[in-house]
Amino acid sequence: MIEFGFGISPSSRINLDDFDKEKWNKLVQIEPEILQCISCGSCCASCSGGVFQNVSLRSAILNIRNGKTDSAMELLKGCMLCGKCTMVCPRNINTRNLILSIYKTYSEK
Amino acid sequence: MIYEGKKRIWSDYQKEIPDDHYFYVRSCIRQSFFPASEATFLDITRNKLNKDIFETEHHTTCGGIAYHSDTIPQETVMTIIARQFALMKKYGYENYVSSCITSFGLYCETLETWREFPELEAKIADNLKKTCNLEFAKPKFLVHASDLIYKYRDLIASQAKYKLINKYSGKPLRVIEHIGCHYSKMFPSKGVGGAEYPYVLVGMIEAWGGEIVDYPERRHCCGFGFRQYLIQSNRSYSLTNTYKKFESMKPFKPDMIITNCPGCPYFLDRWQYVIAETQGKTYGENGKGVPVFTYEEVAGLVMGYNPWDLGLQTHQVEVEPLLDKMGIPYDPKEKYLGKNGKDLGKPEIVECFNNR
Amino acid sequence: MKKNVLIIGGGPSGLEAATILKKFNYNVILVERSSILGGHLAKWDRLFPYMEPAKETLDVLLSNIDGITIFKDTEVNSINLLDKSYNVILSNGITILADALLITTGFDLFQAEKKEEYGYGIYEKVITSAELEEYFKTLNNNKIDNPKKIGFVHCVGSRDEKAANRACSKVCCATAVKQACEIKEKYPDADVYCFYMDLRMFGRGYEDLYLKAQKDYAIRFIRGRVSEVSEDINKSLVIKAEDTLSSKPIRVTLDLLVLMSGMRPSSGGEKIKKMLNLMTEDDGFFSTKDSIYSLQHSKLAGLFYAGAATGPKTLPDSLHEARSAAIQIHNYLNN
């Protein structure tokens, strides 16, 4: 193959047509509260780990809904399950439980 | 697609295109990219349709490439443009027709800027006087050369020898139309049909018997975009835009692409080779590419010009399958002969795959 | 002798004000240019946030119209301001000397085809919120053919200077959320997306409706405006937008796209405006005498407004204004 010094760039676009509905439905079944998230960011703002590491439940939920589950898992890696986000969530989501459920659902390959 | 809905929008975006008497300015790059397109435009309008299209060797670049790649300031480019307009006036014309979309967009942008900032216009007029000693003027009508071919589309159809019809199936050819971004995306009212559903090329395709393909990435840029291809490290960006368009049009099985910009046909044509080399993908029939044309080339084909006189041998993607579909005769032996009959030499790489 | 009050516009505000003014013992004349009373309400199926049938609300309004002189299919041809009254000539040839005028000309829906990039009138599966509402009433629309993926675009012709309307149309957010739930009820297997800029769920019960849409109907809310719509080879719609919360472009293929057309000043109101040289604000709706205390008054003595003629309003808001206008007219005619 000829080396041109350039090539097709990967797309950063979210394609909802590729969304894995099966796994999502599984998650929603055990953790229906995930549907209630309004991306307000309270969880991240109060996160004790997020100051030092790239932890974000808000983004993780969004990433899952956008079909980017690997990066969602990355964003939860640093969570220490302290539960501060559970205390502040205005939609009353049991965030700690949700984080564990996300891990459980999406670490099964 | 609801055709009536498009017709309603088209009727909202009709611009006045005078029938005759134009001052013609060429593109910097088209003469090397598509060497016969401008000559064909002049031959059709002057000799076949008996229009008065004047050109002078004294006109220069509009400065667009330099402007869009951030190498010259706006006032400089405006002074260059003022000089072009002054030449138009000097030779007794008030209608200005531009071969290039970049130039056309820049002329529109400049005229709008002058309208908005009269003090800047006065300054440019002063620059012009000091540098060139020419009298400042603005065109009464500014059109792109594709506007004129659009205007003459029925005249051309009445002289047509061939139609955009597949002679094997009897069905209209499936034509992709691609508009240069600077034709109407900056100023929708300056383009025939507006920016979302431009009509300028659609009108030609309809008049000449073809069928328009409306595919999801129709509005998307070809990827030309100056900075995207001028610098090699940015070229992936350019290539990927073209790739995105071809992937999107693929299910529609287009027979050909018709464009009205200097850059679009070049990149839509040449990048097909790079996509084939790097991705192993082609988008035409039988592992070949989709032929890409300028509107002048298509007008020339329809009117029965010899394909090799239209410069079609300089395309990367072979045009022969389309010529066969249209029933246009050609001599393969003449393909690489120059106008003087001498052998130009066959390119090392023809079509999409390197078949050395 | 009874004093004459002429009401221009037979929508909810006009009907409600007429009913009260009649009770106040005025001779009420109501002019409606179409053949149907009830305005947009008559075309609606259910009302947010509690899903009350629109027909029931309209029936209440229509149950009290005995004794009101109603001219349907009638336009106002001219209005002349006399010393203490208005001389109004109607298209049916009747002339009325009105002691007070109430303008309840309401709104027109933004013409969705003006947002060319959304392809309304060009791509088959793009409809407006009004058309979807009509579908809920009639269950008849050949564009809605067992859709599996459905999108709603908020703010079509609202909060958009490119559509010549900077203002929020107030009701579209709640309507979109309501309609998203309803279409999900009809097609439980469908994926439903709402493309919004902000969700303006300000009223009582609206936030609960939003929560219900998320929780019970699994509606996906995407914060970002749709940039363009096109059609693929299967005639499905390809939607491009930005997911502003993840700062990435987003793409989805849909079987149905609903455009939430906003509110624009009604063409009927525009006509009246010209006849009397009435003032309007930047948003095109009529100017009120002030912005807090005299919302039903115009600058002209004896000329009053109610409802969406002075800007986008919910149905309860409009009804309040109608009642308020009736009282203001009563005060005016007794001073």
**End position of a domain, from candidates C262, C278, C296:** C262
Pairing of strands C69-71, C27-31: parallel
**Cβ <8 Å between A4 and B233:** no
Instruction: Report helix, strand and coil shares of chain A as percent, to nearest 5.
Output: 50, 0, 45
Check whether residue C174 and residue C300 sit in a common domain. no
Check whether residue B253 and residue B298 sit in a common domain. yes
B336 touching chain A per CB within 8 A:
no
Residue whose tokens read 């099964």: A108
Check whether residue C9 and residue C101 sit in a common domain. yes
Check whether residue C18 and residue C45 sit in a common domain. yes
Distance CA B185, CA B101 (A): 11
**End position of a domain, from candidates B120, B145, B170:** B145
Sign of CA dihedral B82, B87, B90, B96: negative
Is residue C30 within 8 Å of residue C68, measured between CB atoms? yes
**Cβ <8 Å between B1 and C117:** no
- On whether residue B2 sits in a domain, the answer given is no
If DSSP codes are grouped into helix, strand and coil, which group holds residue A109?
Answer: coil
Which residues does B178 contact at the CB level (< 8 Å), separation at least 6? B201, B218, B222, B245, B257, B258, B259, B260, B261, B264, B268
How many residues in chain C?
A: 335
- pLDDT for the residue numbered C22: 97
- pLDDT for the residue numbered B303: 98
Check whether residue C211 and residue C128 sit in a common domain. yes
How many CB atoms within 10 Å of residue C70?
17
- On whether residue B84 sits in a domain, the answer given is yes
Check whether residue C126 and residue C167 sit in a common domain. yes
Instruction: Report the CATH number that the domain containing residue C127 is assigned in CATH.
Output: 3.50.50.60
Check whether residue C272 and residue C246 sit in a common domain. no
Residue from A14, A63, A94 whose CB has the most chain C CBs within 10 Å, to mutate: A14
Token pair for residue C19? Answer: 């009913």
If DSSP codes are grouped into helix, strand and coil, which group holds residue C8?
Answer: strand
- Where in B245-327 does DSSP place strands (E)? 256-259, 292-294
Check whether residue B284 and residue B313 sit in a common domain. yes
- On whether residue B269 sits in a domain, the answer given is yes
Instruction: Report the CATH number that the domain containing residue B75 is assigned in CATH.
Output: 1.20.1050.140
Distance CA C234, CA B263 (A): 31
Provide, as residue numbers in chain B, all residues whose Cβ is less than 8 Å from the Cβ of A11. Answer: 240, 244
Check whether residue C153 and residue C254 sit in a common domain. yes
**Cβ <8 Å between B236 and A9:** yes
Sign of CA dihedral B146, B150, B152, B158: positive
* DSSP one-letter string for C279-294: -B-TTSSBPPS-SSS-
Average confidence score pLDDT of chain B: 95
Check whether residue C76 and residue C117 sit in a common domain. no
Average confidence score pLDDT of chain A: 94
Average of per-residue pLDDT across B297-312: 97
CA distances from B64 to B38, B100, B188 (A): 18, 10, 20
- On whether residue B349 sits in a domain, the answer given is no
Provide, as residue numbers in chain B, all residues whose Cβ is less than 8 Å from the Cβ of C116. Answer: 9, 194-197
Check whether residue C277 and residue C257 sit in a common domain. no
Number of structural domains found in chain B = 2
Instruction: Report the CATH number that the domain containing residue B160 is assigned in CATH.
Output: 3.40.50.11810
pLDDT digits (tens, 9 = 90+) for C244-276: 999 999 999 999 999 999 999 999 999 999 999
pLDDT digits (tens, 9 = 90+) for A51-87: 889 999 999 999 999 999 999 999 999 999 999 999 9
In tens digits, chain C (335 residues) has pLDDT values of: 899 999 999 999 999 999 999 999 999 999 999 999 999 999 999 999 999 999 999 999 999 999 999 999 999 999 999 999 999 999 999 999 999 999 999 999 999 999 999 999 999 999 999 999 999 999 999 999 999 999 999 999 999 999 999 999 999 999 999 999 999 999 999 999 999 999 999 999 999 999 999 999 999 999 999 999 999 999 999 999 999 999 999 999 999 999 999 999 999 999 999 999 999 999 999 999 999 999 999 999 999 999 999 999 999 999 999 999 999 999 999 98
Sign of CA dihedral B232, B233, B235, B236: positive
B230 touching chain A per CB within 8 A:
no
Which residues does A3 contact at the CB level (< 8 Å), separation at least 6? none
**A12: nearest CA in chain C?**
C248
Check whether residue B79 and residue B60 sit in a common domain. yes
Pairing of strands C126-128, C52-53: unpaired
Residue whose tokens read 């001389």: C87
Which residues does C316 contact at the CB level (< 8 Å), separation at least 6? none
**End position of a domain, from candidates B94, B119, B145:** B145
Is residue B279 within 8 Å of residue A8, measured between CB atoms? yes
**End position of a domain, from candidates C262, C281, C309:** C262
The answer to whether the pTM exceeds 0.80 is: yes
How many CB atoms within 10 Å of residue C202?
11
Check whether residue B70 and residue B180 sit in a common domain. no
C132-170 burial: b if 16+ Cβ within 10 Å, else e: bbbbbeeeeeebbeebebbbbbbbbbbbbeebebebbbb
Provide, as residue numbers in chain C, all residues whose Cβ is less than 8 Å from the Cβ of B214. Answer: 230-231
Check whether residue C237 and residue C275 sit in a common domain. no
* DSSP one-letter string for C142-189: TT-SS-SEEEEEEEETSSBGGGTB-S--SSHHHHHHHHHHHHHHH-TT
Task: Indicate whether B353 pLDDT > 80.
Answer: no
**End position of a domain, from candidates B145, B173, B196:** B145
Alpha helical stretches, state H, chain B: 3-12, 30-33, 37-42, 64-68, 74-90, 101-116, 118-132, 145-151, 153-158, 181-184, 200-207, 227-230, 235-249, 263-279, 295-302, 320-326
Task: Give me the domain span that covers residue B165.
Answer: 149-334
pLDDT digits (tens, 9 = 90+) for B17-60: 999 999 999 999 999 999 999 999 999 999 999 999 999 999 99
Omega before B73 cis (within 30°)? no
pLDDT digits (tens, 9 = 90+) for B18-30: 999 999 999 999 9
Distance CA C54, CA C43 (A): 8
Task: Indicate whether B355 pLDDT > 60.
Answer: no
Check whether residue B205 and residue B323 sit in a common domain. yes
- pLDDT for the residue numbered B354: 54
Check whether residue B91 and residue B232 sit in a common domain. no
How many CB atoms within 10 Å of residue B116?
9
Alpha helical stretches, state H, C259-314: 267-276
pLDDT digits (tens, 9 = 90+) for B330-344: 999 999 998 888 998
If DSSP codes are grouped into helix, strand and coil, which group holds residue C121?
Answer: coil
Which residues does B32 contact at the CB level (< 8 Å), separation at least 6? none
CA B10 from chain center: how many Å? 20
Residue whose tokens read 């008065």: B52
Check whether residue B230 and residue B319 sit in a common domain. yes
Q: CB burial class (10 A; 0-12, 13-18, 19+) of residue A38?
A: middle
User: For chain B, first and last CA: distance in Å?
Assistant: 44
Check whether residue C124 and residue C30 sit in a common domain. no
Q: How confident is the model at residue A109 (pLDDT cuts 50, 70, 90)?
A: low
Check whether residue B21 and residue B78 sit in a common domain. yes
Is residue C137 within 8 Å of residue B15, measured between CB atoms? no
Provide, as residue numbers in chain A, all residues whose Cβ is less than 8 Å from the Cβ of C249. Answer: 12-14
How many residues in chain B?
A: 356
Provide, as residue numbers in chain B, all residues whose Cβ is less than 8 Å from the Cβ of C238. Answer: 216
**End position of a domain, from candidates C243, C262, C281:** C262
User: For chain A, first and last CA: distance in Å?
Assistant: 34
Query: What's phi and psi for C181, nearest 5 deg?
Result: -65, -40
Neighbours of chain B (3+ CB pairs under 8 A): A, C
Provide, as residue numbers in chain C, all residues whose Cβ is less than 8 Å from the Cβ of B218. Answer: 230
- pLDDT for the residue numbered B348: 84
**Cβ <8 Å between C230 and B216:** yes
Check whether residue B209 and residue B305 sit in a common domain. yes
Check whether residue C208 and residue C253 sit in a common domain. yes
Instruction: Report helix, strand and coil shares of chain B as percent, to nearest 5.
Output: 50, 10, 40
Beta-sheet strand order (sheet of B174-178): B211-213, B174-178, B256-259, B292-294
Task: Give domain limits for chain A.
Answer: 39-107
Looking at CA atoms only, how far is residue B278 from chain A in angstroms? 7
- On whether residue B90 sits in a domain, the answer given is yes
- pLDDT for the residue numbered B230: 84
Instruction: Look up the ipTM and state it.
Output: 0.95
Task: Give me the domain span that covers residue C240.
Answer: 110-262
Number of structural domains found in chain C = 2
Q: How confident is the model at residue B356 (pLDDT cuts 50, 70, 90)?
A: very low
C327 touching chain B per CB within 8 A:
no
Residue from B232, B236, B237, B316 whose CB has the most chain A CBs within 10 Å, to mutate: B236
- pLDDT for the residue numbered C328: 97
B214 touching chain C per CB within 8 A:
yes
Token pair for residue B114? Answer: 């002058």
How many CB atoms within 10 Å of residue C261?
26
Looking at CA atoms only, how far is residue C209 from chain A in angstroms? 12
CA geometry: angle C69, C74, C80, nearest 5 deg: 85
Sign of CA dihedral C313, C314, C320, C322: positive
pLDDT digits (tens, 9 = 90+) for B113-132: 999 999 999 999 999 999 99
Q: Which of C211, C187, C193 is nearest to A14 (CA)?
A: C193
Token pair for residue B323? Answer: 């010529």
